[in-house]
Structure 1
């Protein structure tokens, strides 16, 4: 079992997630937006997807 990540490790992982989501957005027209909010020591990403039966669906990622 690994100890909690320190701030530098979290920053590195956040940067990797940002890059991954940016690449997904560029390559997938179903992704309408990717937003990020950092508050209360939680990093959150909101990925908005265009849907067939529902106009927009949002997936939340939290770190």
Structure 2
């Protein structure tokens, strides 16, 4: 049993994602740019959706098309400089309320929001939900996380 998608099926999915993202950009002024990046050799295609944030200046969502899944992630912030245990506890507690994404640590302990969707469940509304959810979660958590992990920098604010 294999759930690998054929090259022709992946080409169709890639075109669909291109169309869906273009439509999203035309309908939402928060989306500043959509770029089709060079994929990692292990993946078929990669997109960058750059959005203007309110609490964080810019939010970029990376969508990566694989043989079985669409992976998505955004960089939230660098590793905290202080209150690390409280910061990590806050991330874990937030994870409990998230659907379809989770906080994770990347290189140098930077904080990311990541998720993955089986291609069998891929649809235009799901791509919209993914991008919108990531945007909303970053906007909601950015300042509180900064105030914990970089507290001494924001004492007078």
TM-score > 0.5 by shorter chain: yes
RMSD value, Cα: 1.5
Distance in 1 of aligned mates of 2:20 and 2:50:
15
Give secondary structure in 2 for the equivalent of 1:29.
coil
| 1:20–1:2 Cα change, 3 Å | farther
Larger displacement relative to structure 2 (52-61 or 13-22): 52-61
Distance in 2 of aligned mates of 1:7 and 1:38:
17
- Specify the alignment match of 1:55 in structure 2: 57
**TM-score normalised to structure 1 length:** 0.89
Q: How does 1:1-63 map to 2 (within 5 A)?
A: 3-39=3-39, 40-42=41-43, 43-63=45-65
Whose strand fraction is larger, Structure 1's or Structure 2's?
Answer: 1
Unaligned runs of 5+ in 1: none
Give secondary structure in 1 for the equivalent of 2:16.
helix
**TM-score normalised to structure 2 length:** 0.38
Superposed CA offset, 1:4-28 (max 9, x none): 0011000000000000000000000
Unaligned runs of 5+ in 2: 66-157
After the TM superposition, which segments of 4 or more aligned residues of structure 1 sit over 3 Å from their partners?
Answer: none
Give the structure with higher Rg (CA): 2
The alpha carbon displacement at 1:2 in A equals 5.3
